[in-house]
C-alpha cells in the first residue's frame, strides 16, 4: 500500500513540474491569460497600425496599466513574427525599451532598427501574477537613402552615449493627460521643431515648393480649406534649428485613410534654421464631401526632449458631383454662362462665380412668388437654410449638424440655432464663390466694403479682435436685428485694454511654435462652429493632439454652465501638459493624488464643486458676467 502511495505521489510531482516548466519553455505572446477583471492593458500610441515609414529606425510609444496592480509591477516584452516561422522571436533586447512610471499607469517607448519590408510585432504586458495581455502591430519600412542615414545616425548616437538596449525606468511625480506629450525643459525652448506651413497640392508637384517663396496657384493652404480635389496630397514644411533625425512619423492621425510619408528635401535657410519638407501621399484618392483632420505627431523631435509643437488642421473635399472648371469646358472658346444647367452640378451652380451662375438665383428667389423685398421664395422656399441643407445634409455636400429648433432632443448640438436669430447666411454669403483666401465664403463685415469676416486659427491669428470678426461681429453686446435679443458681449475681452492687460489668456506664442499669436486665445481653441455635444459649443478635445480616452476629454454635465462644468473645463488645459502655441497650461492639481500643486491653496484640490469655489470666484471681477470673464480674460491672481 505504501509503495503504491509513493508511486502516486512521485507521478503527481512529475506532472506538476512538467506543467510548470512547460509554461516557460513553450511561452509565446499567443499564450495570453484572460480574465473578467485584473487583466493588464496595453495601448500603442505611435506609429499608427499599418503605417508606411520611410525610415529604418522606428520608435514605438504607448501606455500600460492594470486596475489592481501598480505600474511598477508590470513588465513588457516585444516579439516579432519572422516570415513563416510559427514561433515569434523576442526582440526586446535588440532595441532600447524605456518605461516611465506613474501611479496608475506607465508610459513606454521602444526604439529599434528594422529592415525594409512588412513587420508584424506583438507587445505583451504581464503583471506580477503572470497574467498577460497583448496587442499586435504591423508596419512597413519602405527603405531609401533617408532610411539608411537615419539608422546610422541613431546607432552612432547610442554608441557615443554608451547606451545599450537595457531597459531604462524613470519616475514621474507630475501626472500628465496624454502619454504622447513629453514636455521640454525651459532651456530647450526655442530649439523645438515646428510646422511653418501645410499645403494641399496636386500629386507629383512637391518638387516645385521652395521654402519662403511664392507657391504655385494650385497649392492650397490646408487650414479650413474647402472643395479640395480628391487627387491631392499633403505637403508640410517643418523648421528646426537642430538637425532632424527621423525616428517617428510626422503625421499620426489622418482619419481612416492610410498613405506614405516621405521627407523629400532639406533646405538650409540660414546659419540658425533649416526647412525639412515632407509629403503625405494617400494610398487612394480622398473621399468626396469628407472632412479630414491632420494631426502632427507630438513625439516627432529633433533630439531627446525637443518635441514638435502639437498642431492639427482640417480640410474638406469637394462633393461627389463637383466638376472643376477645367473639366467643364472642353472648348476653350466656350463661356461658362453658356453651359446648360443639366451639364452643371448643383455644387458648381451654387458655389460658382456669381456672373456665371445667374440661373441659380431661382433656387432661392422668385420674380413672381417672392415673399419679401428680396423676392425670397424660389425652388427651395423662403427659408434661407433650405438651399444649404439641400446639399449639406450629407447627401452631396459635407454634413452640417441639425438645427436645434427642429431637434429638441439634441439641445446641446448647436447653440447658434436655438433661436431664429441666426442661420447659415449669418456667417456665409451664398453669392460669392470660395477662394483660397476665403474658402468658406464668409460674409463681408459691412455691405459697404469688401472687408471679409475672418475666423483665424494658429497659422494666421495674431490675437487682435479683427482676427475673429466672424464671431465678434455678432457677439458684441448689441441687439440682433432678427431676434431682437441682446447678444453676449465677447468682443470687449478682445478689444478692451483693461481686460487684455489682466488676462491670463493673453499668449505670446513661443518662438518655435510656428505662430505669430501675441494676444488673446483664438475662439477656435475652445469652441466649435457648427456642432458640439457640449454646451456653449465647446470642444471635447482641447489642445492639438488626438485624444482617444473619454476621461481626458471635456464632457459637460447638464445644460447649465456652473462651477462643476467650469472647473472641469479649465482643468483640461491647466494640467501641466496641454500645449497651445508652445505654452503649457500650468497644473492646478496633481492628476494622481487630486491635491493642489500649491498646498497653501486647497481650493485647487480636485473635486471642489461648491459654487463659491468656481474658478471665476477668484479669476474674475465678479458680477453676472463672472463665468464669461473668467473664460475669455481670466484675471491673474499673481503675475507668473
**pLDDT at position 7:** 59
The residue-averaged pLDDT of 383-410 equals: 61
The partner residues of 170 in beta bridges, in order of sequence, read 100
Instruction: Mean pLDDT check: name the lowest of 150-159, 348-357, 458-467, 593-602.
Output: 150-159
Residue predicted with more confidence, 54 or 210? 210
What b-and-e string marks burial along 549-582, b requiring 16 or more CB atoms within 10 Å of the CB?
Answer: eeebbbebeeeebebbbbbebbbbbbbbbbbbbb
Strands 251-253 and 41-46 come out as unpaired
**What is the pLDDT confidence band of residue 219, given thresholds at 50, 70 and 90?**
very high
Cβ–Cβ under 8 Å, residues 119 and 153: no
The partner residues of 41 in beta bridges, in order of sequence, read 65
Q: Where are the alpha helices (DSSP H) in 281-382?
A: 325-328, 346-351
**pLDDT at position 417:** 52
Based on DSSP, count helices (H) and strands (E) in the chain, helices before strands.
Answer: 10, 22
Whether the CA torsion 168, 169, 172, 177 is positive or negative: it is positive
C-alpha cell of residue 414: 448647436
Contacts of 274 (CB under 8 A, 6+ apart): 239, 240, 241, 243, 266, 267, 268
The residue-averaged pLDDT of 590-600 equals: 81
Q: Give me the long-range contacts of 214-222 (CB less than 8 A, separation at least 24).
A: 220/315, 220/436, 221/197, 221/436, 221/459, 222/198, 222/294, 222/313, 222/315
Q: Give me the long-range contacts of 210-213 (CB less than 8 A, separation at least 24).
A: 210/267, 211/237, 211/267, 211/269, 211/275, 211/277, 212/269, 212/275
C-alpha cell of residue 198: 501645410
C-alpha cell of residue 501: 492687460
The rounded distance, in Å, linking the Cα atoms of 605 and 595 is 5
The residue-averaged pLDDT of 117-131 equals: 88
CATH of 41-171, one of 3.30.499.10, 2.60.40.650, 3.40.50.720, 3.40.50.800: 2.60.40.650
Sheet order of strands, 96-101 included: 41-46, 57-65, 105-113, 96-101, 168-171
**pLDDT at position 333:** 57
Judge whether residue 535 has pLDDT over 90: no
Q: How many CA atoms lie within 13 A of 194 on its CB side?
A: 22
**pLDDT at position 352:** 53
**pLDDT at position 435:** 74
CA nearest neighbour of 576 among 567, 589, 592: 589
Indicate left, alpha or beta for 576 from its phi (over 0: left) and psi (-120 to 50: alpha): left
Name the strand (E) or helix (H) holding 22. helix 2-25
Name the strand (E) or helix (H) holding 8. helix 2-25
CA nearest neighbour of 560 among 536, 530, 529, 528: 536
Judge whether residue 425 has pLDDT over 90: no
Domain ranges of the chain: 41-171, 186-316, 325-397
**What is the pLDDT confidence band of residue 596, given thresholds at 50, 70 and 90?**
confident
**pLDDT at position 199:** 94
pTM given for the model: 0.67
CA nearest neighbour of 316 among 361, 350, 347: 347
- Mean pLDDT score across all residues of the chain: 75
41-171 against 186-316: fold identical: yes
Q: Which residue has the cell 498577460?
A: 132
The partner residues of 538 in beta bridges, in order of sequence, read 527
E strands, 218-335, in order? 220-221, 232-240, 251-253, 259-268, 274-282, 291-296, 312-316
DSSP secondary structure code for residue 140 in this structure: E
Cβ–Cβ under 8 Å, residues 505 and 515: no
Helix, strand, coil tally for the chain in percent (to 5): 25, 25, 55
Sheet order of strands, 291-296 included: 251-253, 291-296, 312-316
The rounded distance, in Å, linking the Cα atoms of 97 and 89 is 16
The residue-averaged pLDDT of 234-252 equals: 88
Q: How many CA atoms lie within 13 A of 547 on its CB side?
A: 20
CATH topology of domain 186-316: Immunoglobulin-like (2.60.40)
Judge whether residue 449 has pLDDT over 90: no
Whether the CA torsion 264, 228, 432, 477 is positive or negative: it is negative
**pLDDT at position 153:** 44
The rounded distance, in Å, linking the Cα atoms of 446 and 470 is 12
Backbone angles phi, psi at 299, to 5 degrees: -95, 0
Amino acid at each position: 500500500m505504501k509503495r503504491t502511495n509513493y508511486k502516486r505521489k512521485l507521478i503527481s510531482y512529475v506532472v506538476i513540474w512538467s506543467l510548470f516548466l512547460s509554461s516557460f519553455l513553450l511561452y509565446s505572446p499567443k499564450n495570453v491569460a484572460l480574465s473578467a477583471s485584473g487583466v493588464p492593458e496595453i495601448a500603442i500610441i505611435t506609429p499608427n497600425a499599418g503605417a508606411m515609414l520611410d525610415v529604418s529606425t522606428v520608435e514605438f510609444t504607448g501606455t500600460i496599466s492594470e486596475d489592481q496592480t501598480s505600474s511598477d509591477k508590470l513588465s513588457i516584452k516585444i516579439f516579432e513574427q519572422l516570415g513563416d516561422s510559427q514561433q515569434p522571436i523576442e526582440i526586446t533586447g535588440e532595441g532600447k525599451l524605456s518605461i516611465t512610471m506613474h501611479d496608475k499607469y506607465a508610459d513606454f517607448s521602444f526604439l529599434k532598427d528594422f529592415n525594409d519590408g512588412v513587420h508584424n510585432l506583438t507587445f505583451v504586458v504581464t503583471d506580477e501574477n503572470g497574467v498577460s495581455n497583448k496587442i499586435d502591430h504591423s508596419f512597413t519600412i519602405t527603405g531609401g537613402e533617408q532610411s539608411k542615414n537615419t539608422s546610422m545616425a541613431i546607432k552612432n548616437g547610442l554608441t557615443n552615449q554608451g547606451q545599450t538596449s537595457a531597459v531604462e525606468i524613470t519616475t514621474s511625480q507630475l501626472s500628465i493627460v496624454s502619454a504622447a506629450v513629453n514636455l521640454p525643459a525651459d532651456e530647450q525652448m526655442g530649439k523645438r521643431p515646428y510646422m511653418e506651413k501645410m499645403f494641399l497640392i496636386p500629386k507629383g508637384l512637391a518638387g516645385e515648393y521652395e521654402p519662403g517663396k511664392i507657391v504655385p496657384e494650385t497649392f492650397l493652404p490646408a487650414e479650413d480649406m474647402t472643395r479640395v480635389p480628391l487627387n491631392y496630397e499633403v505637403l508640410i514644411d517643418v523648421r528646426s534649428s537642430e538637425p532632424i533625425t527621423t525616428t517617428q512619423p510626422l503625421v499620426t492621425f489622418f482619419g481612416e485613410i492610410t498613405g506614405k510619408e516621405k521627407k523629400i528635401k532639406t533646405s538650409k535657410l540660414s546659419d540658425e534654421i533649416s526647412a525639412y519638407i515632407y509629403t503625405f501621399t494617400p494610398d487612394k484618392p480622398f473621399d468626396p464631401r469628407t472632412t479630414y483632420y491632420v494631426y502632427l505627431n507630438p513625439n516627432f523631435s529633433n533630439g531627446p526632449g525637443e518635441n514638435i509643437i502639437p498642431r492639427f488642421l482640417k480640410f474638406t473635399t469637394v462633393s461627389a458631383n463637383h466638376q472643376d472648371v477645367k473639366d467643364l469646358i472642353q472648348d476653350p472658346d466656350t463661356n461658362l454662362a453658356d453651359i446648360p444647367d443639366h451639364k452643371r452640378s448643383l455644387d458648381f451652380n451654387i458655389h460658382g462665380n456669381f456672373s456665371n451662375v445667374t440661373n441659380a438665383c431661382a433656387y432661392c428667389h422668385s420674380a413672381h412668388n417672392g415673399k419679401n423685398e428680396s423676392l425670397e421664395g424660389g425652388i427651395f422656399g423662403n427659408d434661407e437654410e433650405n438651399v444649404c441643407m439641400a446639399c449639406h445634409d450629407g447627401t452631396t455636400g459635407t454634413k452640417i449638424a441639425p438645427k436645434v429648433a427642429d431637434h429638441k432632443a439634441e439641445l446641446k448640438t448647436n447653440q447658434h440655432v436655438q433661436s431664429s436669430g441666426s442661420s447659415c447666411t449669418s456667417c456665409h454669403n451664398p453669392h460669392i464663390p470660395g477662394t483660397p483666401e476665403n474658402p468658406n465664403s464668409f460674409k463681408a463685415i459691412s455691405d459697404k466694403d469688401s472687408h471679409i469676416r475672418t475666423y483665424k486659427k494658429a497659422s494666421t491669428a495674431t490675437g487682435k479682435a479683427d482676427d475673429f470678426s466672424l464671431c465678434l461681429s455678432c457677439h458684441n453686446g448689441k441687439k440682433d436685428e432678427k431676434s431682437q435679443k441682446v447678444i453676449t458681449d465677447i468682443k470687449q475681452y478682445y478689444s478692451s485694454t483693461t481686460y487684455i492687460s489682466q488676462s491670463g489668456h493673453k499668449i505670446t506664442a513661443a518662438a518655435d511654435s510656428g505662430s505669430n499669436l501675441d494676444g488673446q486665445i483664438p475662439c477656435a481653441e475652445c469652441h466649435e462652429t457648427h456642432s458640439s455635444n457640449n454646451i456653449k459649443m465647446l470642444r471635447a478635445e482641447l489642445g492639438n493632439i488626438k485624444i482617444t480616452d473619454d476621461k481626458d476629454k471635456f464632457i459637460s454635465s447638464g445644460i447649465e454652465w456652473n462651477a462643476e462644468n467650469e472647473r472641469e473645463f479649465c482643468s483640461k488645459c491647466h494640467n501641466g501638459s496641454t500645449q497651445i502655441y508652445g505654452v503649457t497650461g500650468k497644473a492646478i492639481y496633481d492628476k494622481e493624488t487630486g491635491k493642489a500643486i500649491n498646498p497653501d491653496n486647497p481650493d485647487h484640490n480636485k473635486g471642489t464643486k461648491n459654487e463659491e469655489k468656481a474658478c471665476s470666484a477668484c479669476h474674475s471681477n465678479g458680477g453676472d458676467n463672472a463665468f464669461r470673464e473668467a473664460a475669455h480674460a481670466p484675471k491673474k491672481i499673481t503675475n507668473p
